[in-house]
Structure 1
Amino acid sequence: MWLLLPILCYSVIYLYVRHIYSYWQRKGFPSEQAALSWDFLSQAYRREFRHVEAICEAYHEGKDRLLGIYCFFRPVLLVRNVDLARNILQQANGHFMDSKWDYVKGYKRFNLLEKLAPMFSTKRLMPMLINAQDVGNNMIQHLQEREERGELELDLQQLLRIYAVNIMGNLVYGLDANNFEQQDHILNIYANSPTRQGHLKSFTLRGVPQKSPLTYRLLDIIQHNVEQREERGIIRKDMLQLLVKLRNGNDLSSDKWQVEHAIEEDKLMSVKRLAQVAEDLLQSALDSLASTITLTLYEIAQQPLIVEKLQAEIKELHFKDGQLQFEQLEDMKYMDMCVKETLRKYPPVPLIERTCRKSYTLPNTKFTIGENKTLMVPLLAIQRDEKYFSEPLKYKPLRFLNEKLKQSEQCRSTFVGFGIGGAQCVAQNFGKMVIKVALIKLLLNYHLEWDENAPVEVSHLPAPIITSANGLKIKLKAREILSHSNYRKNSI
């Protein structure tokens, strides 16, 4: 009798697992042959399983536009075609919106990303460019002080994480943050600890909420600054100012920066919710900004000709009172191509995941994806597919030159960059501005010297991060042509 009980339990577990792993087959979707191997389970247990690489393998093994796969016990529909993915995410009428940015006020549901979009328009970013350049100047001053101490080698990835943290602290939290000097600053934990979600968690338990240990300390900072701006009328031209305007129901698309104070009952967001939005912006932007700048420099350091072209383009810039103008950033075509090539080879979000809110028939197909099922677009695999990009593992910025794009219409439509459709990053103009400021500051002042024999490994956790033991060790040698220039002396 007692022997029947474990047999019954094992049978129920077996049937349950078999039911899950036959989901796509039962629904009629093309699907992979699913199996749980000891090798997979041992990798998952040791946290060595790399789910981004596994998704890329599934992409290359499939042949259909749609492929049903299983992320552990979670059925996921892999969309292997960019045009189909774009149609789904653009025309799904909210079926696949990211619920993290949902906000309900009364009986009306808001998508905060749509509300925040005017924050990143050109006229809003132009005043913020001054703050971004101040952060860049702090970075150059820090490097000059290292030169004076004879410290020529540094971990470039760590340097740029601090730069990105300073940018977000300055513009999102309203802090005059300089983590190059302030070793005990509250945001240092973000600079010193890359956001690395456990591989098992990101592969299986994506929906489990995680509270940052800094959440309540950051809430105090937000609460203090919101009170300053609402009650005392203090104006600082940054993102926090615009978040406070949004909280009070003000129009973000207007030219005004002052807050038109509303009574508490009419406010769109509580201070706690505003702090949540600020922390989401910090966490979502930090790795993307730092990794894109780092990997751009990593790639161009291996090709001196690219560095020369970028430095020649930078040399043509004209600084007004030591400041760059926003229009000049937009005119840097070759740097644009380099940033695009980095985003192609190392997309900051290698996988776009969306949960279906309500059963949805996919356009131009006979298939219907069910409620609460996950749809995934493998950007990394698509943008490294030689079907769309010749020699995809080579860094070739000129592939984005207009004449070159004529060789393949597919290449033009396949590059995603900052997302597609409803998954497109509303802050892409802000991202480009911050990335270009860092590149200009470093390439204007320094030559890059990289040890080609040093082992460098890029992993996706999920953002691309250099996971080598020493990070990205590089020597920055001051450019002689600028060592006595007015810019180098006066830009700090």
Structure 2
Amino acid sequence: MRDGKQVFLIHSGFGFQSSEKYVQYRQQLIGDHVFYIYKMILLCISALLVILYLLCNRQFSYWKLKKVPFDKPFLFFGSFFYVTFRKEHVFDRIRIIYNKFSTPYVGIYIFHQPVLVVRSPELVKRILVKDFDKFVNRNVARNLSADPLAFYTVFISKDEIWRCLRSKFSSAFTPLKMKMMSSSIKECAENLSCYLSSHSGETLEIKSVMKKFSTDITSSYAFGIETLCLHHEDSEIFKMAARLVDTTSFIRSVSILSYFFLPRLVDIFKLTFLDKPATDYFCSLFKETLKLREKSKIIRNDFLDILINFSNSEVTMDSCDCDNETIMASQAITFFTAGSDTIAITLSLTFYELALNKVVQDRLRTELREAVHKKGPPTWDMLENVKYLDMVVSEILRKYPLAPMLNRRAEADYLFQETGFTLDKGVSILVPVSGLHYDPDFYPDPYKYDPERFSEENRSKIKPYTYLPFGVGPRNCIGKKFALSVIKMGIAYAIKDFEFGVSDKTSIPLRFDPASIFVQEKQGIYLKISKIA
């Protein structure tokens, strides 16, 4: 009882000569507890880091055991630490890795995944063309319940679904279809010319202008609607188009990164490839337009007509768990997204290089005006014969490839007979497009913008499979012809009547936005536009 009373007196403060000493005692006691808790937290964190380090080391032993030269990984991030934290664009990272080695292939790690980077053009040919059946799929995540639209795109779909979609929709981009659509493309190009004329003498952020132009064209071809974004600054469809792949958004960046490199996160968090509200908007727009088109029986020979024919055909996709309307919407939205962004970026980069290279710009303008003088306003057929225009575009796509890398997944164990190395089934292969395009052995002085590389005489000297702006083989870019048609028409209508020059707001050199999946300037491309007689 005495002991109990003493404890009571101590805890109630009666065991101290003053209340101040009691307060000090309590503070020290609390401080000791807090220190102990912090210590335990630090110990737990340290233990977790050690475990992660050991797991990473175990995971990062693949290339060493395979006796393949490899880029030393940095913790969990592998070779992509700076890319993950938006300190470096993937375009530059791929090029750096390519330049560090001279072997036909090199191993890297992207997070925990071993990836084989193929540097040799001969191996690129073998993987993308000759042995395509062993590398038919891209290593991109897909989750039917999380994002059915992405699941059924030509870009992401796999195996039989991909083969069926590819064969059905390739007909949308034949030369004949491009000629049929040339009047719509020409009309949008004329609107672009009017827009530039109304802003003559001003400095414009040219990427946003080209985005409006490309949105008008892709909306017309994919959805069968006239959006007139160049005439309406507050266009709803333009705002939604910007949201689809908004890499300034942290969530969008994480989602896209996960689809390519962290597929488990896609499954765990049900991530969508494109922005959900924006895809819902375009799905609704597509379905409304589809009903109107079917009701009116109008035929425009556009992508929407191809989709309607697909829906009405007797061809079935046995492996599909989705209705035709969802599959159709998926193709339309993917085409719209990929087309509007890539065309806008390529055009803005073209005008940027022409502004820096006035001799090239003047020569191109002269050749375009001569063609117009002989044959009238630019058309599909006429632009096909302006050789210097093709050289200008080819060099832009060499210097700024929209896809800095191509990826494939080994569908079976694959033997590299030259070295005896066997790549295991399921491991990814990466083709370093930005590395090949900047290799001085293939393109002397690669940082220089020089359309003469693609003259008739010089083009034949380019080593095969070192120029890959649209990929190559059965899984190359399905919209290549459409993109080139629009890009050339946009350049023709702009350059023949306007001069593009630099201003105090022009970034020289360009600084790529590390948050973007495409190659584009971080602060925008500002150019001065001047109408000429």
- Structure 2 partner of 1:312: 366
Distance 2:501 2:178 in 1: 33
For residue 15 of structure 2, what is the aligned residue in structure 1?
none
Classify 1:138/1:6 alpha carbon distance in 2 versus 1 (closer, same or farther; 3 Å): closer
CA contact (8 A) 2:241 2:337 kept: no
- Contact 1:445-1:479 within 8 A present in 2 as well: yes
Report if aligned partners of 1:130, 1:323 keep a CA contact under 8 Å in 2.
no
**Range that drifts further, 6-15 or 72-81:** 6-15
Indicate the residue corresponding to 2:63 in structure 1.
Answer: 24
The alignment's TM-score, normalised by the length of structure 1, stands at 0.83
- Tell me how far apart the structure 2 counterparts of residues 338 and 250 of structure 1 sit (CA, whole Å): 44
Deviation at 1:389, TM superposition (A): 0.7
Give the CA deviation at 1:364: 5.0
Asked if the contact 2:73/2:79 (under 8 Å) is kept, the reply is no
Query: 1:142 aligned to 2:195?
Result: yes
Shift of 1:9: 5.0
**Preserved CA contact (<8 Å) 2:106 2:117:** yes
Question: Relative to structure 2, which stretch is displaced further, 242-251 or 125-134?
Answer: 242-251
Of 233, 236, 242, which residue of structure 1 is paired with 2:297?
A: 233
Distance in 2, matches of 1:241 and 1:344, equals 33
Match for residue 428 of structure 1?
A: 480
Match of 1:158 in 2: 208
Instruction: For residue 186 of structure 1, report the CA deviation from its aligned partner.
Output: 3.0
Distance 1:37 1:94 in 2: 29
Displacement after TM superposition at 1:130 (Å):
0.6
Do structure 1's residue 113 and structure 2's residue 166 form an aligned pair? yes
Moved more, 459-468 or 374-383: 459-468
**1:371-382 pair list within 5 angstroms:** 371-382=425-436
What do the CA deviations read for 1:303-361 (whole angstroms, capped 9, x no partner)? 22111211111112348997533211211111101111001110011111223344333
Q: Partner residue of 1:348?
A: 402
Distance of 1:401 and 1:146 partners within structure 2: 34
Choose from 434, 446, 455 the match for 2:498: 446
Q: Is the 8 A contact 2:372 2:378 kept in 1?
A: yes
Superposed, 1:275-290 pairs within 5 Å as 275-290=329-344
| Aligned-CA RMSD value | 3.3
Q: Secondary structure at the match of 2:529?
A: strand
* Cross-structure match for 1:58: 97
Unaligned runs of 5+ in 2: 1-39, 141-152, 267-271
Distance in 1 (alpha carbons) for counterparts of 2:80 and 2:70: 21
Farther off after superposition, 380-389 or 358-367? 358-367
Task: Say if 2:75 is the partner of 1:36.
Answer: yes
User: Which residue identity lines up with residue 436 of structure 1 in the other structure?
Assistant: K
AA aligned to 1:22 is S
CA drift of 1:49 comes to 4.1
> Any conservation in 2 of the 1:72–1:203 contact (CA below 8 Å)?
no
> C-alpha distance in 2, partners of 1:170/1:104?
28
Cα distance between partner residues in 2 of 1:444 and 1:62? 44
Compute the displacement of 1:75 (Å). 1.6
In the aligned structure 2, how far is the partner of 1:41 from the partner of 1:371?
23
How many Å separate the matches in 1 of 2:321 and 2:63?
45
- Aligned with 2:167: secondary structure? helix
Query: When the two structures are superposed, what TM-score results if normalisation uses the length of structure 2?
Result: 0.77
> Cα distance 1:375–1:17, how it changes in 2: closer, same or farther (>3 A)?
same
SS in 2 for 1:183: coil
Worse-superposed segment, 450-459 or 136-145: 450-459
Aligned to 1:92: 132
Matches within 5 A, 1:59-74: 59-74=98-113
Distance 1:305 1:5 in 2: 64
Answer whether contact 1:350 1:462 (CA < 8 A) is retained: no
Looking at structure 2, the residues matched to 272 and 320 of structure 1 have their Cα atoms a distance apart, in angstroms, of: 47
The 1:268/1:237 distance shift into structure 2, 3 A limit, reads farther
Structure 1 stretch displaced more, 3-12 or 224-233: 3-12
Contact 2:74 2:81 (C-alpha < 8 Å) held by counterparts: no
CA shift in 2, pair 1:395/1:9, >3 Å: closer
Q: Determine whether 1:217 maps to 2:217.
A: no
Paired residues for 1:342-421 under 5 Å? 342-362=396-416, 364-405=418-459, 408=461, 410=463, 412-421=464-473
Q: Give aligned pairs, total.
A: 458
CA–CA separation in structure 2 for the residues paired with 1:395 and 1:205: 33
Task: Go from structure 1 to structure 2 and tell me whether the alpha carbon gap of 1:19 and 1:201 turns closer, same or farther (over 3 Å shift).
Answer: farther
Contact kept, 8 Å, 1:351 with 1:376, in 2: the verdict is: yes
2:423 and 2:158 map into 1 onto residues whose CA distance is 26
Amino acid in the other structure paired with 1:95: F
Once the 2 structures are TM-superposed, how far is the Cα of residue 365 of structure 1 from its aligned partner?
Answer: 4.9
- Cα distance, 1:278–1:319 mapped onto 2, change above 3 Å: farther
Larger Rg: 2
1:4-32 deviation digits (Å, cap 9, x = unpaired): 98787555433311111111222332222
Aligned to 1:245: 309
Distance 1:376 1:163, change over 3 A: same
> 2:521 maps to what in 1?
466
Structure number having the greater helix percentage: 2
Percent of aligned positions that are identical: 22
What amino acid is the match of 1:114?
S
* 8 Å contact from structure 1 (residues 348, 463) kept in 2: yes
What is the CA–CA distance in structure 1 between the aligned matches of 2:417 and 2:77, rounded to whole Å? 38
The 3-state SS of whatever aligns with 2:273 is: coil
Distance 1:320 1:230, change over 3 A: farther
Q: 1:276 to 1:94 in 2, by over 3 A?
A: farther
- The letter for the 2-side match of 1:79 is V
Q: CA deviation at 1:47?
A: 3.4
Q: Is 2:106–2:116's contact at 8 Å kept on the other side of the alignment?
A: yes
| Cα contact 2:368–2:492 (8 A) shared by 1 | yes
